Amino acid sequence: MAKFEQLSALIDGQNDEVRFIDEVAKDEELSQRWQNYHLIGDVMRGECAKHVDLDLSSKIAMAIEDEPCIVAPRSQEHSAEPQVGFAIAAFAGLHQRYKKVFSYAGQYAIAASVAVAAIVGVQHYSQVQPNTLGEPVLHTIPIGGGVSPVSLTTPLNTQEPSQQELLEQNQRINAYLQDHRLHQRIN
């Protein structure tokens, strides 16, 4: 880590040791960091070229080489006992078929159970239960007496409007109609 700090100090102009400069020139990792630090500085100052050639292929190739190999299991085609593999495959196919049938049967069983519960519930609640007391739930006749008639009379206004009132009413209606026509022309 001290090498990277010395490299950063050298780039910032705080380290002038010739011995360390020679070490940077000989060490490939320090040389690559030197290039990266200068590239970062150029980008931060806005002096970077429009196209930067970053060589990522070598790092990707090294990472692929470091990946462990995945060993696949041997296929059943090359098995020493093909009869056992055939029996297992037949059982798996049969199992899938029965699994599908039983899943449908389970769905139908649930639907039938719900239907039976609904029918039993409707039959149970729709039965007329005799009222043991024989009294109506709501009394429409008052307890204290008989029924008395109720009426409301209002005096009717039999006066007809005068000529003056009819003339004013017609003028207001005509004013509304003219205003309406004016708005229709505008729109």
End-to-end CA distance of the chain: 82
User: How much is the pTM?
Assistant: 0.28
CA distance 183 to 72: 85
Percent of the chain with pLDDT over 90: 14
Coil/strand/helix, residue 187: coil
**148: pLDDT strictly greater than 80:** no
Highest mean pLDDT, choosing among 4-18, 79-93, 117-131, 165-179: 165-179
Question: 10 Å Cβ neighbour count for 42?
Answer: 13
115 — pLDDT class (breaks 50, 70, 90) = very high
Mean pLDDT for 22-31 is 84
Q: What is the dihedral of CA 21, 25, 31, 34, to 10 degrees?
A: 30
